Amino acid sequence: MASISDLLKKSTIFNSLEEIDLQRIILLFEQRELHTGDILATAGNTAQYFFILERGTLLLAMEKGKSVVQATPGDFSAMELLSDRGRYKTTITALEDGVVFSISRLAFLELIQEDTPGAAVIMQAWQGYLDQTAPFAKNIEDIDVPAIF
């Protein structure tokens, strides 16, 4: 099993962070084992966590029949891919046994709202990841981050 530090260094969202920023965010993650069929998030429920995949396969089932399959270590289920105005808009199901690290939604949103280089790096990388993974999930409006996610 990889450490969260190794996983973040592989993730396209977090791999450009400076070591000081990595050390800070590492403390926010908790490891969770998954079994086939486990539900990590249910559409309509209060959004409490975002997830980074260590191993396994996740199905992110969205509205209107849209979905994303995450199977690459470092794939991140967060923000507009996962939630809207504090509620999950996506149901995440484990398609096979695996491991994710969860991070409190509120702690992550606080982190990315800071006026720091690390926050800017995460947001820029997130936009690139979303463009490649699920451009249909992007929010067009420029609105208050905590209110939307």
User: Tens digits of per-residue pLDDT, 10-60?
Assistant: 999 999 999 999 999 999 999 999 999 999 999 999 999 999 999 999 999
Long-range contacts, 112-118 (Cβ 8 Å, 24+): 112/145, 113/145, 113/146, 116/21, 117/18, 117/21, 118/17, 118/18, 118/20, 118/21, 118/24, 118/25
Domain count, the chain: 1
148 falls within a domain: no
36 falls within a domain: yes
92 falls within a domain: yes
15 falls within a domain: yes
Q: How far is Cα 72 from Cα 23, in angstroms, rounded to an integer? A: 22
Domain range for 22: 4-138
147 falls within a domain: no
What SS3 state is found at 49?
strand
Structure tokens at 128: 């690139």
Q: What is the dihedral of CA 80, 15, 112, 95, to 10 degrees?
A: 30
144 falls within a domain: no
145 falls within a domain: no
Residue 70's CATH number: 2.60.120.10
Q: How far is Cα 135 from Cα 35, in angstroms, rounded to an integer? A: 29
- Contact (Cβ atoms closer than 8 angstroms) between residue 43 and residue 83: no
Q: Using CB atoms within 10 Å of the CB of residue 101, give its burial: 0 to 12 exposed, 13 to 18 middle, 19+ buried.
A: buried
Tens-place pLDDT, residues 74-131: 999 999 999 999 999 999 999 999 999 999 999 999 999 999 999 999 999 999 999 9
70 falls within a domain: yes
Distances in Å between the Cα of 139 and the Cα atoms of 11, 105, 109, 134 are 22, 18, 16, 11
Q: Which residues pair with 33 in a beta bridge?
A: 99
